[in-house]
Structure 1
C-alpha cells in the first residue's frame, strides 16, 4: 500500500531565484496565445531603447558644437544649434512616449498571463482547498496573485530595460570618452609614463567604488524587503479575517481583543519598515553624494588639458557629458539596488507559490487515493470504496480499510463520533482530499452535487446564487420561482434581480434552503449532504428531506448528520467507529425490504402533532 505520508516524498532541490524566475518569463514567451504579442512588444521596447540612446549620443555631439559656438561667439552657429536642439527634443519625446507605451503593454500582458496561470493552478482540482492542509504551503496566495505578480512583472520589465539601456549607453559612450580624453602624462620619481584614455579609467574606478559601498550598505535590504512583504500580507489577512467574522466578533464584544491582535500585526509591519527606512537613509547618504560629485569630477579631472589648451570648452563639456553617461551606466546597480531588493522579495513570493503548486502536484502523484470515475452512460452507476484509507496530509490515518458500495437511488446516512472522518470522507469522494490509499469508484462527476453545512453564496444577483454554478439563463423564470417557493423562500422571489452580499443578508437557515432550491433546478443523480440541514428547525428539515421522496426520488442520497429524525429518510446507515489505527466503516442497519414505505419515527411524529395542536 502506498505511503500516504507526504514527508516520505523526495522533491527536487530548489532552484536558484533567477532560474525559477526564468520559468515564469519562459512560460510567457512560449505561451501559444501570448508569445507573438510578447515578442513584438519586446522588439518594440528594444528598438525604441536603441533609438533613445542614438538621440542621447547625438545630444553629446550637440554639447560640443553648442559650447564651441559660444566660445567662438559664432551667432549663426549658435542659433543653428538651437534649431538642432528643438529637433532632438521632439525626437527624444517621441522615443520616450513610444517606449513607455510598449513597456506598459508588455508589463500588462505578462502580468495578465501570470495571474491567469496562477489562478488556474490554484483552482485546479480543488488545490485552493488542499493548500490549507499542506505543510509549509505558501501563505496568502490571494495577495501573491493580486499584488506580488504586479510588482514582479512590472519591476522586471523596468529593471531589464534599464539594464539594457545602461549596457548600450556604456558601449556607445566608452568609445567617445576614450577618444576625447587622450593620454594623461604621469611621473613617479624618475619614471614618466602616459595613461591612455584616462577618463575611462577614472569613470570605471568611480563606479566601482560606488557599487562596492552600495553592496556593503544596502545588502541587508533584500532580506528586510522579504520580511516586509510577509508582515504586510499577514496584517492584510488579519483585517480580512476580522471583516469576514464581524458578526461573531460584535456579538461577543470581541473588539478590544481584535484591536490588540491588529495592533500586534501592524506592529510587525512598523518594526520591519523602521529597519528598511534606516537602510534607505544610510544608502541615501551615499547616492546623494555620489550623484552630485559625478557632475564635477569629470571637469576637475579634465581641466588640466583644458587649461593647457589641448581641448576646447566644447570638448570639455562633451567629455563631462560622456563621463556622466558612462558613470550613470556603470552605476545602474547603485541607483537601482533598493528596487532590486524590493523586486526580489516579490519574485520570491510568486515563485514560492509556484513551488507550492509543484509540491502539491508531486505529493498528489506519489501518494493519493485512486479516484475511478464511471464513464457517461454506465449502468448501474455505483459509489464504492475498495480498501480505502483516508489520512491527514501529515500521514496520520483517519479512516482505515473501508469497503462499501452504494447503489443508484439509494439513501444512505453516515454517522460517527466527531473526529472520525465523516466530512473528510466526503472530501475524498469529491476528489478534494488526495491523501491516503485505496480506491473510490464514483459515478460521472456531472451527476454529483455536494452540499456543505455553509453553502457558498457567490457575489452578484440572487438569481446567480440560486442557479450556481450554472448561469441563470440555463433555467426559466418559472423554474427558479417554483424552486424558491417549494423550499419555503417565496419572500425572495421579488429579490432575484438584487445584488447583495447574500452570505450576510440571508440567515444560515435561508442559505441552506436556497441550496436545496439549487438541487431542484440541477436535479443531480447523486446528492451528498454534509450537515446541510444543521441550521434548520425540525419542520423545515422535514420539508427539505421530503424532496428526496417526491421531486428527487430517483437520486441517490449520501448524507452526514446528527439531527434526530434524519435516519427515517435513508435506507440504511453506515457508521464510522473510532479505532486506534483509524476509524472503521460498518453497516449499522440493513437496507429496507423492497416496497417497504418510509415512515417517520414515533418521536418525530409526536413532536409534529403537538406543534399542530
Structure 2
C-alpha cells in the first residue's frame, strides 16, 4: 500500500491460504442437496474436453499427411487433406463452443452455491454485525462475497479444465512424440550415450526450466495480488461511503476532505498496482523469451534427423506439432501463473472470511469462553427480561458495563438512561443477541415476540408496502391496514405509494423514517418493544404522539427505551440509570415513580391532530 515501507513491499508472500477449507467447499458442493446439475455439467465438460483432445490427435496425423502431400506435389492427396481439415475444424469448433458453454454453466452453478453458503453464514444470528464489530481481519465481507467468490469459482473451474486438458494432451502426445523422435546417440567424454525418445526428454527439460524460472521470478506476485485486492476493496468502499453520505458531506462542505480521503485510497491502489506492474514486467520478459524460443526449438532439435534423411518433411512437421502440444501441456503453470496468483489471493480472502465466521460460531457455542449467555424463553413459558450479573465488554476486552442485574416484567415500561459512553446502546445489542463479548446471563422473551427500533430504522429496498411490513412477508398486511397505520403516524400522504419502489431511506427524512418504524409496530403489535433513541429525530409533540399511539395500540406490551429527550419519563413507569464507575458502568435503580394525573392526561391525549410533518 502507499504508506507501506519498501521493506514491507518486498516481503515474501503471505503463507499459503487454507486450501483445506477450499477443498471442503468443493466436497460440500458436490455432495450438497442444492448442488443442482453440477455433476451432469462436470460430465459434459469432461466429454467435450476429451473430444477436443481426440480432434487434436487427429490434427497431428493430418499435419503429417498434409505436408507429405505438399512434399510429393500430390494434388489429389492435397485436396483430400483440405476436406479432412474442414471436417476436423468443424468438430473442433463444435467441441470448443459446447465446452465453453458447459464450463460457464458450471462456473455459474459453483459461484451461486458458494455465494449462498457464505451469505447464509454471514447473515445468520447477527454474524454480519459481530464481524464488523470484532473481526477486522475480514474487512469488506460484501465485496469478498461479490468479487472474490466470482474469481475463485471462475478460475477454479478454468484451472481444473485446463489441467485436465493438459494431462490428457500430455499422455496422448508424449506417446506420439516418443514414437516419432527415435533415439539420439551422442558421445560425451569418450562415452557413448543412447537416449530413446530424445524429443520427449528435450520437451520435459525445456518445460522444467521454464516453470522453475517462472516461479522464481513471479513468486512476489502472490503477495502483491492480496494487497491489490484489499486496496481495491477499500477504494470501492470509500466511494460507496461518499455516495451514501452525499447529503451530509454537501451540507458541511466536506467535499475537499472527501477528495483527499479518496485520493489517499486511490494512492494505495496506484502504489500496489505499480508493484504488480513491475512484477508482471519482469515475468513478461521471461515468458516472452520462453514462448519465442519455443517456436523454433523443436525444429532445431529435430533438424539433424531430417537432414540425415531419417524423417520426411511431413514427419518433421508432425514432430514439431507434437512437441508443441507437449510443451503446451507442460507449460500450463508458466502460462497461468498470473491467474494463479489472483486465484490464490481470492481464496485467501475467502478463507479469512470463513475463518472469522467460524471463530464467531465457536465463540457463541463454546461454553468455556467468557461470553454472554442468552436464554430465550419458548412460547408458553413465563416471559420476562432478566439481566443477571451482566458484564459487557468491547471486542478488545475493555469492560463497558459491569455487574448489571435487573428484571423487567411483561407490560412494564422502563426507561434506561445514562450519560454518553455508559454502554446503553451496547446493552440493547446484547439483549438482541448481537453482542457476545462479556459475561453473565440474559433471559429474554421469545425472539418473535420482540421488536427493536434503532435510532435510524432499516428500510430495505423494494415497494413501500414491503418496507412497511418488514421483516414480515410483503403480503402480511393488506393495503387498508397499512394505510390506516400510516394515517395514524402522520404519513397518510404515502397511502397511494404503497406499490412504488424507491430508495425510501433517501426519499423520507429521518423523522419520517422513525414514524414509519412506529407504523410497523402498530401493524405487528409485538409483546416486547425496545426503543433505542427511536424518537431522536422528532420534535416533542411528535414524540408524545408516537409514544401515545404505541401505548394505546399495544397496551399490554412491555416497552424498554433508551432516550434523553424531555418528556419520555411520562410514558414509562420505571427508570434504570447507568452510571460510570471504575471497571465499567453500573445500574443505579430509581424507585417507581408516580406520574400526576394532569401529566398523564396531557401525555395520553389522542394522537390524531398532534402529529406534525
Task: Look up the match of 2:8.
Answer: none
Change (3 A) 1:134 1:452: same
Task: Look up the match of 1:292.
Answer: 292
Greater Cα shift, 146-155 or 23-32: 23-32
Describe how 1:198-237 pairs up with structure 2 within 5 A.
198-237=198-237
Q: Is 2:170 aligned against 1:170? A: yes
CA contact (8 A) 2:222 2:341 kept: yes
CA distance in 1, matches of 2:413, 2:419: 20
Describe how 1:522-541 pairs up with structure 2 within 5 A.
522-541=524-543
Task: Look up the match of 1:26.
Answer: 27
Task: Look up the match of 1:454.
Answer: 456
Deviation digits for residues 227-283 of structure 1, max 9, x if unmatched?
110110010011111111111111111111111111111111111111111222222
Alignment root-mean-square deviation, CA: 2.1
Task: Look up the match of 1:495.
Answer: 497
CA distance in 2, matches of 1:541, 1:189: 101
Deviation digits for residues 467-492 of structure 1, max 9, x if unmatched?
21123321122211110111111222
CA contact (8 A) 2:55 2:88 kept: yes
Quote how far apart the aligned CAs of 1:377 are: 2.2
CA contact (8 A) 1:235 1:262 kept: yes
CA contact (8 A) 2:522 2:550 kept: no
Q: Is 2:477 aligned against 1:475? A: yes
Greater Cα shift, 364-373 or 151-160: 364-373
Deviation digits for residues 448-483 of structure 1, max 9, x if unmatched?
100001111111222222221123321122211110
One of 365, 370, 373 as aligned partner of 2:376: 373
Task: Look up the match of 2:9.
Answer: none
CA distance in 1, matches of 2:381, 2:359: 35
Task: Look up the match of 1:314.
Answer: 314
Quote how far apart the aligned CAs of 1:44 are: 1.8
Task: Look up the match of 2:346.
Answer: 346
- What SS does the aligned partner of 1:124 have? coil
Task: Look up the match of 1:119.
Answer: 119
Change (3 A) 1:454 1:435: same
Change (3 A) 1:601 1:580: farther
Q: Is 2:278 aligned against 1:275? A: no
- What SS does the aligned partner of 1:549 have? helix
Quote how far apart the aligned CAs of 1:126 are: 0.8
Quote how far apart the aligned CAs of 1:189 are: 4.9
Quote how far apart the aligned CAs of 1:124 are: 0.4
CA distance in 2, matches of 1:434, 1:44: 47
CA distance in 2, matches of 1:476, 1:194: 89
Per the normalisation by structure 2, the TM-score is: 0.93
**Number of corresponding residues:** 590
- What SS does the aligned partner of 1:310 have? coil
Describe how 1:355-504 pairs up with structure 2 within 5 A.
355-365=355-365, 366-379=369-382, 381-504=383-506
CA contact (8 A) 2:17 2:347 kept: no
CA distance in 2, matches of 1:601, 1:588: 23
CA contact (8 A) 1:568 1:598 kept: no
Task: Look up the match of 1:38.
Answer: 38
CA contact (8 A) 2:466 2:475 kept: no
CA distance in 2, matches of 1:391, 1:289: 60
Task: Look up the match of 1:520.
Answer: 522
Quote how far apart the aligned CAs of 1:592 are: 5.2
Quote how far apart the aligned CAs of 1:16 are: 4.9
Describe how 1:78-227 pairs up with structure 2 within 5 A.
78-227=78-227
Task: Look up the match of 1:551.
Answer: 553
CA distance in 2, matches of 1:586, 1:329: 75
CA contact (8 A) 1:364 1:435 kept: no
CA distance in 2, matches of 1:64, 1:178: 15
- What SS does the aligned partner of 1:367 have? coil
CA contact (8 A) 1:135 1:394 kept: no
Greater Cα shift, 546-555 or 182-191: 182-191
Quote how far apart the aligned CAs of 1:591 are: 5.8
CA distance in 2, matches of 1:271, 1:396: 36
Deviation digits for residues 191-232 of structure 1, max 9, x if unmatched?
333221111111112112211221122111111111110110
Deviation digits for residues 99-146 of structure 1, max 9, x if unmatched?
112211110001001111111111101111111221443010010001
CA distance in 1, matches of 2:39, 2:187: 55
Deviation digits for residues 29-70 of structure 1, max 9, x if unmatched?
121221x62222222212221121111111111111111122
CA contact (8 A) 1:565 1:604 kept: no
Change (3 A) 1:598 1:388: farther
Greater Cα shift, 190-199 or 438-447: 190-199
CA contact (8 A) 1:410 1:556 kept: yes
* Structure 2 residue runs without a partner (length 5+): 1-14, 606-611
Deviation digits for residues 385-404 of structure 1, max 9, x if unmatched?
12222221222222222221
Task: Look up the match of 1:70.
Answer: 70
CA contact (8 A) 2:570 2:603 kept: no
Quote how far apart the aligned CAs of 1:541 are: 0.6
Quote how far apart the aligned CAs of 1:292 are: 2.3
Greater Cα shift, 273-282 or 145-154: 273-282
Quote how far apart the aligned CAs of 1:598 are: 8.1
- What SS does the aligned partner of 1:415 have? strand
Task: Look up the match of 1:11.
Answer: none
Quote how far apart the aligned CAs of 1:320 are: 0.4
CA distance in 1, matches of 2:151, 2:373: 40
- What SS does the aligned partner of 2:123 have? helix
